[in-house]
Amino acid sequence: MSKTKQKIDLSSFPTVDQVGIGDRIERITKRSIKKETKVQGLKMALNMVDLTTLEGADTDKKVIQLCNKAQHLHDTYPDLPTVAAVCVYPNFVKTAKTNLQGSGINVASVATAFPSGQSSLKIKLLDTKIAVDAGAEEVDMVISRGKFHEGDYNFVYDEIAAIKEACGNSRLKVILETGELGTFDKVRKASDIAIAAGADFIKTSTGKISPAATLPVTLVMLEAIKDYYYKTGIQVGMKPAGGISNSKLALQYLLLVKETLGKDWLTNKWFRFGASSLANDLLMQIVKQDTGIYQSKDYFSKD
């Protein structure tokens, strides 16, 4: 069942208490993840990574290297899961597509004048179309934060809905850029708008703004997803992106998902990490769990 846009009451949104969110997160971060739980979690996390390169200096060769890395995470270690997707700018979708053929790894493309989103709808639609036509299975759009701050929620909603339509069968991830929204109440509001407008995923950040993903902001978004699920029975995915570079933190994100949304979201169909250096740390920890020996970064390929 494909997700379509829904009516939304823009006059009132649930509120969020920041200190209460902090209390909840403290309980998550105090969980102890050991042994099999850890190994299982690390592999699950690896399988949820969107391996990302979004630099002005990106080239075809850089993208090809990344695609290789995605398919050969650490060949000396058998039976590793693959990452979920490789995430690039629209002009590299074709390169990525070619180099990932047959791997089962999706190509995700940012679009809509990423990262600022400061352009016309026409350009944004075209940007999206280029990515989709080039074969992107997933589109990561940014919302118009300026319009959002102006209180023009209809504009934000309509834009997301239009991009969703342009995505066709590709799945749409909507980046809220939470670091620019200012309060959890606004993060919640943006989440609700994005979900109602047709987002398949909501995503915290572009990675270009600090703060990027945090556990608290992710919890706020997971709660929006939960409330939507309660109401409609429709699942929406979640992608924290930026700033998640170590395994311990990744496992805490997974615990947060486990205790908020349960089993159905503990899969890369509904949960992703937008990260570049996380994969290697996960690999190091997987090997450490297996061998009992602490690892060095020199033994894991960097692309």
Positions in the binding site for another protein (CB under 8 A)? 14-24, 30-38, 40-41, 44, 182-184, 211, 214, 216-217, 223, 226-227, 229-230, 232-233, 254, 258-259, 261-264, 266
Closest contact distance (angstroms) between CB of 201 and another protein is 18
CB 39, CB 286: distance < 8 Å: yes
Residues in the chain: 303
Other C-beta atoms within 10 Å of 78: how many? 6
DSSP string, 214-237: -HHHHHHHHHHHHHHHHHH----E
CA 139 – CA 145 distance, rounded (Å): 18
CB 199, CB 238: distance < 8 Å: no
**Residues near 162 by beta carbon (within 8 Å), at least 6 away in sequence:** 121, 125
CA 193 – CA 199 distance, rounded (Å): 9
DSSP run (H or E) holding 274: strand 273-275
Closest contact distance (angstroms) between CB of 269 and another protein is 15
Nearer to another protein, 32 or 76 (CB): 32
Closest contact distance (angstroms) between CB of 219 and another protein is 8
Nearer to another protein, 179 or 198 (CB): 179
DSSP run (H or E) holding 33: none
Closest contact distance (angstroms) between CB of 110 and another protein is 24
Nearer to another protein, 42 or 175 (CB): 42
What residue type is assigned to position 114 of the chain? F
Nearer to another protein, 56 or 233 (CB): 233
Nearer to another protein, 49 or 261 (CB): 261
Closest contact distance (angstroms) between CB of 285 and another protein is 15
Closest contact distance (angstroms) between CB of 148 and another protein is 17
Query: Hey, which residues are catalytic here?
Result: 140, 203, 239
Nearer to another protein, 75 or 230 (CB): 230
CB 199, CB 160: distance < 8 Å: yes
- C-alpha dist (Å) from residue 204 to 60, 82, 208: 27, 23, 11
DSSP run (H or E) holding 191: helix 184-197
**Residues near 37 by beta carbon (within 8 Å), at least 6 away in sequence:** none
Other C-beta atoms within 10 Å of 58: how many? 16
